[in-house]
Each structure stands twice: as structure tokens, then as C-alpha cells.
């Protein structure tokens, strides 16, 4: 797909840069490290990527980005995944969600204040999901009431990635309770050291704790931190969420393919020779490889179609569904194939989710992806209604 001369030259440049700058055995170095050590590593890696001109390929040059073509962005994410290189995990909300949100509806003052700071390492989190509004985000209950030149906010958020480390938060709060669920929601920028904010990390089954609960008790947010128009936050939130489904989707597809390659190598090593691998195991590995190829093709089609429509559309729901279920099935099968006891004592790798290169930990971490970015049940609803044009309610006939 990426065959232009410029893109191929860029591919060579990226490969050479990765060879020179990615730390050898970086996963082993991080395994068992503390959360603070992981954050320090991520801050260092962000500076490396920025110095190499690879940190924000999708940002315009005038805002300090790479100004890369869509084709070059795909090349970069392919090579990052194939190497494989670390992902700037703790900075993804700032680099993608915040950037696209401010580009779409932020003021010039907001852009000038926050975009350079993000490139300097400012960490952002997202305050969308709530205990009673996860899969049904429009049911959020966090309230923001106007008091002169501030909004006074009360409520609770949950599953906020890196909220304990973040300087700023993309916050959704309800400002009008007399209208429908998707109306009356306002989009605010909240400084995380504001009085009234309590952050409680959530310890996961893997031992990691990058997610947090965030409690808001009379938090005062200046009106100048309003993004877009009051009560129009739902529409802007769709822009924010769509940022997860751009060219970076190809990186996730490539990382799944790399995981299958690793499983094939592990399997051949376990049986001693490729000829000794049972037929049913070969068939299963072939099925996972085919599903990964389909996922990659879906990503490519969506990315280049979005160049024309300026939107990823509801096809992104298909990709999210295919990716998360493939990931869960693959890591489950790999854990069964290798035997969970082989990896039982493995130390977790902070922040790497399913890509720790330990099948048991990756299987546990894969469940996150069936929830994050909208649960798979919600994705099925969107696909049935918006793509297949099925009715919301069954049409019973006599």
C-alpha cells in the first residue's frame, strides 16, 4: 500500500533510526520495575522520539509536529511495531486525544498553552467513563454548574489511564439536566492539581495500576477552560474518541502480527522441529494469521478512506471489535499452548498492557481492549444500526 518513493525512503530512515536508538532488551529492563521507573522511561523515550522527528508525525509543522503524509504515518507505525519499539503510552492521550480535540474546537490560547507542553512531556488523562456511565457514556452524572467565571464540578470518573501522573484532564460534565442524554454535556480542560480532586489508582490482576478513580468535590474550573460551546460536548467527544482510530490502528494490527510470529517461533521450539508440530496446532496458527491479515487490511482501508471523508466512520467499530477479539483469542490460545505455569511467576511490565511478551500476563491484559474505547457490546450496537441499518427494536410481525 505504501509504495511511493518518499514513503520508501522514509521507511529506510525510520529503520535506521530505530536500530540506533531503541534500547536493547528494553522489555527485560522494564520487567519488574516500579511505576515511577516506568514513567521515567516513558519521559526519556518521548524526548528521543521528539529529537528524531518521530514523536508527532500527524501534527502540523507549525505546532511542532512532523507534518508527515498519511502514507508516511502508516510507514512509521508499521516499523515501530515490527522492530518492535516502545510505545509512548503515557503520552498517547495528549498526543492524539487532546491534540485532535484542541485542533477541532480549541481556542488559539488553549492551543498555544497546551500543544507545546505536550511535546515537552506534559501528561494528560481522560475523564469520560463513570461507575454508572461506562459503556453508556451519555448517562454520565458528573455535574458542572456555572458560578460566575468558573464551573463548579462534582462527580466521579473511573478507568482514567495515568490519571495519577497527569497534569491535565479532558473532562466531560453535565451542565443541563433538562435535555436528552446526549445534549447538555460540556467539554472542559481540568488541571489535575486543582483543589477538590482525589485520585485513587486501581490495582489490576497483573499487578499494574495505570488506571485510576478520580473523585471531584467542588472542583473549580475556569470558564476559559471550556472547549467548544457549552452543552455541545457530546459531539466534540466523538472527535476525541475517533483519535484512537487513525493511522495508529495499523500499529496495533502489526503488533498482533508480531505476536503471532512470536507464538509460531515458540511453538516450533517447543516441539523441536516444525514437522513435529501437530496438524491441529498448525491449523489454529494459520487461522490467527489469517485474522491478523484481515485486521491489517481493514485498518489500511479505513485509514485511506478517512483521508477523503475526514472521518473514520463507524467502520472503526468493526476494527475495534475484530482487534480486541483476535487479541483475546490469540493470547488465550498461546497461554494454553505454552501452559500457564510456565509464566506464572513472571514479573509484570508496567504500562505495556497485553504487549509484555508474557502470554499469561498478555491474556489477562487483553480483556482491557474489549472495554476500552467503548465496550464490544456497544460496538455491535453501532455496527448493527449504523452500518447494517438494523432497527434499534425488533420488528415483530404477526
List Cβ neighbours of 66 (8 Å cut-off, separation of 6 or more).
53, 54, 55, 56, 57, 58, 59, 72
Closest to 270 in 3D by CA, of 349, 352, 359:
359
244 catalytic? Reply is yes
Hey, what's the cell of 217? 468535590
Cell 474546537: give the residue: 105
- DSSP labels for 99-150? HHHHHHH--HHHHHHHHHHHHTT--EEEE--BTTBSSSGGG---EEEEETTE
Report how far residue 201's alpha carbon sits from residue 384's, in angstroms, rounded to the nearest whole number: 36
CB 114 within 8 A of CB 102: yes
Report how far residue 315's alpha carbon sits from residue 324's, in angstroms, rounded to the nearest whole number: 14
The rounded Cα 173 to chain-centroid distance in angstroms is 22
Report how far residue 334's alpha carbon sits from residue 264's, in angstroms, rounded to the nearest whole number: 10
Hey, what's the cell of 374? 467503548
β-pairing, 197-202 with 211-222? antiparallel
Report how far residue 105's alpha carbon sits from residue 99's, in angstroms, rounded to the nearest whole number: 10
Q: What are phi and psi of 232, to 5 degrees?
A: -115, 20
Closest to 123 in 3D by CA, of 86, 169, 155, 157:
169
Burial of 20 (0-12, 13-18, 19+ CB in 10 A): exposed
Among candidate residues 72, 130, 244, 315, the one labeled active-site is: 244
- Residues annotated as part of the active site: 244
Amino acid at each position: 500500500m505504501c509504495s511511493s518513493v518518499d514513503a520508501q525512503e522514509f521507511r529506510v530512515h525510520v529503520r535506521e533510526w530505530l536500530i540506533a536508538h531503541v534500547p536493547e532488551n528494553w522489555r527485560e529492563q522494564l520487567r519488574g520495575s516500579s511505576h515511577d521507573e516506568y514513567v521515567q522511561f516513558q519521559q526519556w523515550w518521548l524526548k528521543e522520539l521528539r529529537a528524531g522527528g518521530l514523536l508527532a508525525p500527524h501534527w502540523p509543522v507549525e505546532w511542532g509536529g512532523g507534518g508527515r503524509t498519511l502514507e508516511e504515518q502508516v510507514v512509521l507505525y508499521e516499523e515501530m511495531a515490527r522492530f518492535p519499539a516502545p510505545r509512548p503510552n503515557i503520552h498517547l492521550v495528549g498526543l492524539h486525544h487532546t491534540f485532535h480535540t484542541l485542533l477541532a474546537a480549541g481556542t488559539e490560547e488553549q492551543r498555544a498553552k497546551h500543544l507545546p507542553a505536550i511535546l515537552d512531556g506534559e501528561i494528560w488523562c481522560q475523564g469520560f467513563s463513570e461507575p454508572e456511565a461506562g459503556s453508556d457514556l451519555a448517562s454520565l452524572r458528573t455535574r458542572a454548574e456555572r458560578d460566575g467565571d468558573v464551573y463548579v464540578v462534582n462527580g466521579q470518573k473511573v478507568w482514567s489511564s495515568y490519571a495519577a501522573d497527569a497534569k491535565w484532564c479532558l473532562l466531560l460534565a453535565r451542565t443541563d439536566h433538562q435535555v436528552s442524554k446526549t445534549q447538555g454535556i460540556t467539554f472542559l480542560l481540568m488541571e489535575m492539581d486543582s483543589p477538590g480532586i482525589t485520585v485513587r489508582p486501581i490495582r489490576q490482576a497483573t499487578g499494574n495500576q495505570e488506571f485510576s478513580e478520580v473523585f471531584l468535590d467542588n472542583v473549580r474550573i475556569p470558564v476559559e477552560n471550556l472547549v467548544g460551546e457549552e452543552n455541545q460536548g457530546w459531539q466534540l467527544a466523538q472527535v476525541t474518541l475517533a483519535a484512537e482510530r487513525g493511522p495508529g490502528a495499523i500499529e496495533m494490527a502489526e503488533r498482533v502480527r508480531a505476536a503471532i510470529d512470536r507464538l509460531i517461533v515458540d511453538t516450533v521450539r517447543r516441539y523441536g522441529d516444525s514437522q513435529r508440530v501437530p496438524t491441529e496446532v498448525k491449523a489454529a496458527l494459520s487461522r490467527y494469521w489469517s485474522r491478523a491479515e484481515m485486521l491489517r487490511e481493514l485498518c489500511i482501508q479505513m485509514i485511506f478512506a478517512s483521508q477523503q471523508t475526514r472521518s473514520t466512520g463507524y467502520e472503526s467499530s468493526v476494527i475495534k471489535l475484530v482487534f480486541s477479539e483476535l487479541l483475546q483469542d490469540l493470547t488465550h490460545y498461546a497461554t494454553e499452548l505454552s501452559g500457564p505455569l510456565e509464566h506464572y511467576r513472571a514479573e509484570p511490565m508496567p504500562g505495556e498492557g497485553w504487549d509484555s511478551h508474557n502470554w499469561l500476563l498478555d491474556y489477562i491484559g487483553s480483556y482491557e481492549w474489549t472495554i476500552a474505547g467503548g465496550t464490544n457490546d456497544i460496538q455491535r450496537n453501532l455496527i448493527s444500526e449504523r452500518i447494517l441499518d438494523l432497527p434499534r427494536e425488533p420488528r415483530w410481525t404477526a
